[in-house]
Chain A
Amino acid sequence: MRHEVRFSGYGGQGIILSAVILGRAAALYDGKYAVQTQVYGPEARGGASMGQVVIDDAPILYPAVTDPGIYIIMSQQGFEKYGVAAREDAIMVLDTDLVRSRPVCRYHEIPATAEAKENLGREIVANIVMMGALVAITGVVSREAIERAVLDSVPKGTESLNTRALKRGFELGERA
């Protein structure tokens, strides 16, 4: 089954990295197919950043995302630009404090940035918290796969911080 997943937030949150990690988990550790793409603007920081992943059991032909079923939204601007048109049967995971609006589709509020800042000590891992929540809520990839993909992708010395962030995300996702 084809899943289209879209991540959006502001530049610097690790939005595109999140998409890459999810694609990696599916393609290398879950035995599925994945294509990750993104939209680049001229900004390296700020602006609305967007990354997407297609995950499928069959080889992925058309590589673009046209109508995502899963959204991870981490900024208000990201919501307005890339999340507001979500179809009614989509699932959206949004950062409670950074997104003011709420979509018409089913959604889950995850206080990822607050959690990262206050309980994990590093705001930078908010995207990993979101990823954990996403996996717990949707099961789009396995927990084992996402954990391995996260460990592949984060800087040396930050492995345990990121593992804790991911696990915290699983918990928040289970409760959401």
Chain B
Amino acid sequence: MSRLEFMQGNAACAEGALAAGCRFFGGYPITPSTEIAETMARRLPKVGGVFISMEDELASIAAVIGAAWTGTRAMTATSGPGFSLMMENIGYAAMTETPCVIVNIQRGGPSTGQPTRAAQGDMLQCRFGSHGDYSTIALTPNSVQEMFDLTVKAFNLADRFRVPTFLMSDEAVGHMRERVTIPDSVDIVPPAPLLEDSLPYEAGEDGIPGFAPFGSGRSVHVTGLTHDERGYPDTTDPEAHDRLVRRLVAKVESARHDIADYEVINPDAERVFVTYGPPSRTVAQVMRDHPDESVGHLRYRVVWPFDESALQEFPDAKVFLMPELNMGQMAREVQRHVDQPVVPISKIGGELHTPAELLQALEAHR
């Protein structure tokens, strides 16, 4: 029996994590993500999990990675400044192929910016924010229900691909309350185990090594240094580095069509909105209030790895309109893949695009 709740987005995210089997949360309070930590603090001890308030965000993500290596599903949640502090260890998680979930309830930046206002300004940071080449997965919910559903999905993707996975939400969705259906149980896909005759960092065709968490008797050495298939540092051989880092990127990027999750409305359209997160709701409102077959909508629920093939679902598109709560971050990525003009409709300051604003943009591109 599933149950219905009228719940805040942040609380739904925590409930999704618990349903997915998350049993470790390390975090540091920061607006507008704090309700996630508060919910986990209340709920985790009752299900045999561990909540720990760390001394800062560097420590929070470090503790999460440590917990993940015991085979425990682990998560942290933060916002702008805390996300910036996590960057070094996010690179470590990518390099060591540690499955973990990082929730970013985005607020206005740079710096301390607007703690209580919504933004989507960290979309490139979650992909490129740590140094070096790597790849990550990022999901973008647009409702309280998706805060639950996509958190569950984030854990499964993190485990399957052994990669830090981001729930890139924002203050608007994190703090809004809506009806949400909480199922009794959810599908949990654990990481593939390390096979007896495989080395700890030896991957098959999919590029993903089997996972042997601490205590499984494999004496795995985990290091952020460039390492060989045994996990041992090999920091000077150009080929060792090339082989490792290209695999880290390819295991995610080559699976992008498989990881992809998007919605297509009116594929014959000439003017196509491309969205992720809450601007998609304003677009949907405009399309409901002003039906027009020449207007289409592509909404990404998974933003990274970016699935460019979704854009091909609109063969007649003449222009792509991209309302984002930033100054055109994902519009850059979209423009890389299409010949048609990509028009950023950027809005910063903390409020969602209004239907009137998007109607105006549509008119301007008739």
Contact = CB atoms under 8 A, between A and B. Distances in A.
Are A and B direct contacts in the complex by CB distance below 8 Å? yes
Interface in B342-366: 351-352, 354-355
A36 B351 CA distance: 15
A63 B116 contact: no
B179 A66 contact: no
B276 to A, nearest CB: 15
Main secondary structure of the interface of A (DSSP, over half): mixed
Kindly state the interface size class of chain B when it binds its partner. Answer: 20 to 34
Interface in B255-294: 278, 281-282, 284-285, 288
Contact of B6 (A28, A61, A66): A28
B64 to A, nearest CB: 27
Contacts of B172: 37, 63-64
Interface stretch (A19-27, A77-85, A88-96, A114-122): A19-27
Given A23-B6, A41-B116, A64 B175 contact: no
A107 interface: no
Given A34-B179, A35-B176, A62-B355, A20 B6 contact: yes
A106 B282 CA distance: 30
Contact of A63 (B31, B278, B288): B278
B177 A35 contact: yes
B178 A61 contact: no
B179 A37 contact: no
A63 B352 contact: yes
Contacts of A28: 4-6, 179
Contacts of A163: none
B45 to A, nearest CB: 21
Given A27-B179, A41-B116, A61 B4 contact: no
Given A23-B6, A64-B351, A64-B354, 20 more contacts: A20-B6, A27-B6, A27-B178, A27-B179, A28-B4, A28-B179, A34-B6, A35-B178, A36-B6, A36-B176, A37-B175, A37-B177, A38-B175, A40-B31, A40-B175, A60-B178, A62-B352, A63-B172, A63-B352, A66-B354
For the complex of A and B, 8 pairs with smallest distance between CB atoms: A62-B285, A61-B285, A40-B116, A36-B177, A24-B6, A27-B179, A61-B284, A61-B281
Interface of B: 4-6, 31-32, 115-116, 172, 175-179, 278, 281-282, 284-285, 288, 351-352, 354-355
29 contacts: A20-B177, A27-B6, A28-B5, A28-B6, A28-B179, A33-B179, A34-B6, A34-B177, A34-B178, A35-B176, A36-B178, A37-B172, A37-B175, A39-B116, A40-B32, A40-B175, A42-B115, A61-B281, A61-B282, A61-B284, A61-B288, A62-B282, A62-B284, A62-B352, A62-B355, A63-B172, A63-B178, A63-B278, A66-B354
